Amino acid sequence: MQFDDKVPIYYQIKNNLYHRIVAGDLAPGEKLPAVRQLAVDLTVNVNTVQRALSEMVTEQVLTSKRGVGNFVTMDTARITALKQRLSHGYIERLYTQLHALRLSDGEIVTAIQAYITANKEE
């Protein structure tokens, strides 16, 4: 995983885990790799991983059992809500940004369709 040095690493780790949970790559109830293992995988310090995880525990996206491991929540409704929140947020940001560049609603849709079309041919 590569990081954007403009954004805190722990924050990017959180988002990466969000994505893997929403995508089902990490299933409800599934145990995460140990914090030390995650740190190695991400070539990051344990504390940085811990910060990301502990925030997600507070948000109840993860649960933590001391001496055992960290687990994805079993509450699928919460995961669905997370997906909703993330996708809506991403779209809203894009819309705001393109609007600031003075693209009309129609131009925005067209630009995205053009991007997708161009991508398919690769």
Partner DNA sequence: TATTGTGTAATAGAGAAGTAGAACACTATT
Partner DNA sequence: AATAGTGTTCTACTTCTCTATTACACAATA
Contacting positions for DNA (CB under 7 A): 5-6, 8-11, 32, 34-37, 43-48, 50-51, 53-54, 57, 64-70
**Residue 35 to residues 22, 44, 47, 48, Cα–Cα distance (Å):** 20, 10, 9, 10
From its own copies, DNA, none, which one binds at residue 28 (CB under 5 to 8 Å depending on kind)?
A: none
Minimum distance, C-beta of residue 106 to DNA, in the bound complex (Å): 35
Rule CB under 8 A: is residue 23 a binding residue for its own copies?
yes
Q: Work out which of 11, 28, 50, 54 binds its own copies, going by CB under 8 A.
A: 11
Minimum CB distance to its own copies smaller for 23 or for 68: 23
Q: Work out which of 37, 47, 60, 87 binds its own copies, going by CB under 8 A.
A: 87
Tell me which DSSP letter residue 65 carries: E
Q: How far apart are CA 110 and CA 97, in angstroms?
A: 15
Q: How far apart are CA 26 and CA 72, in angstroms?
A: 7
Q: How far apart are CA 67 and CA 103, in angstroms?
A: 53
